[in-house]
Amino acid sequence: MKIEDNKELENLAKKIRRGIIEQVYRAGSGHPGGSLSIADIMTVLYFNELNVDEKNTNWENRDRFVLSKGHCVPALYSCLANRGFFDIKELESFRKIEGNLQGHPDMTKVPGVDMSTGSLGQGLSTAVGMAIAGKLDNKNYRVYCILGDGEIEEGQVWEAAMSASKYKLDNLCVIVDNNNLQIDGTIEEVAGLNKIDEKFKSFGFQIINIDGHNIEEIKSAFEVAKNVKEKPVCIIAKTIKGKGVSYMENKVEWHGKAPDEEQYKIAMKELEI
């Protein structure tokens, strides 16, 4: 499945966002802000970029995807369901103890999930390992990893970045969701980690800066990344936390809470196609 039309992808991103709100609302808990900020990137990944097969989820030549900021799994579940990895009705079981769609990705229970994540800072290490394995096995698959800008305050991220550069992993594409908000406030307030692009560049990455809500820019960035040789790529995607829902946008309090019934209705109305 590869959707080229930008308008169709934009509408699909709204559908993905509706799925995010639906999950968090029905569960009464979850992380809508950061899930909404990556919805456009995830839509392009799953409906334009990734070489995956929903009918053969363990296909050894598939592209790999690691959602390192695992708490934003509603975006991943919404994409997987809409892509056909599992029935979209299963989204109603999000965070239910009897269901498979838990609050963080579980590769043992959910078709299409390549890595169980949630402990922040560890996903890039896994993605590096996958990329090295691809090189050793002479496979052509690519590995994609989404990190949060708050998450990269974790030291392990930079250890993984050093390895990615050392082994010239041009089959690895890192995307930083740069929405500038984490659970305790802005990035500057918490750790002052600015100039993210320069930091990754100093670790040997090819840097691509984009608007993380512009479908054409996202598509173009992935195309450029595929043509970079001898080094890993880092796409710095400038995004808005809570994008698409007016009262959630740029509001840190929506990092991890569910809308009430009235707020749910407003969000779903705003996300109508």
Q: How do residues 224-236 score in pLDDT, each as one tens digit?
A: 999 999 999 999 9
CA distance linking residue 225 with residue 9, whole number of Å: 20
Q: Pick from 182, 243, 254: which is nearest to 25 by CA?
A: 254
pLDDT tens digit string along 193-225?
Answer: 789 999 999 999 999 999 999 999 999 999 999
Q: Domain range holding 150?
A: 6-270
Residue 160 lies in a domain: yes
Residue 212 lies in a domain: yes
Q: What is the pLDDT of residue 110?
A: 98
Q: What is the pLDDT of residue 191?
A: 83
Backbone angles phi, psi at 207, to 5 degrees: -105, 135
User: Is the pTM here over 0.95, yes or no?
Assistant: yes
Q: What is the pLDDT of residue 190?
A: 86
Residue 1 lies in a domain: no
pLDDT along the chain (273 residues), means of 10: 95 98 98 98 98 96 98 98 97 96 97 97 98 98 98 96 98 97 85 89 98 98 98 98 98 96 98 94
Q: What is the pLDDT of residue 194?
A: 83
Give me the residues paired with residue 177 across strands. Answer: 148, 237
Give me the residues paired with residue 235 across strands. Answer: 175, 208
Q: What is the pLDDT of residue 185?
A: 82
Q: What is the pLDDT of residue 175?
A: 98
Tokens coding 33: 């802000």
Residue 126 lies in a domain: yes
Q: What is the pLDDT of residue 212?
A: 98
Residue 91 lies in a domain: yes
Residue 228 lies in a domain: yes
Residue 81 lies in a domain: yes
Q: What is the pLDDT of residue 34?
A: 98
The CATH number linked to 55 is: 3.40.50.970
What's 4's DSSP letter?
-
Q: What is the pLDDT of residue 193?
A: 79
Domain count, the chain: 1
Residue 173 lies in a domain: yes
Q: Give Cβ neighbours of residue 163 (< 8 Å, ≥ 6 apart).
A: 125, 128, 132
CA distance linking residue 146 with residue 160, whole number of Å: 14
Pairing of strands 181-182, 185-186: antiparallel
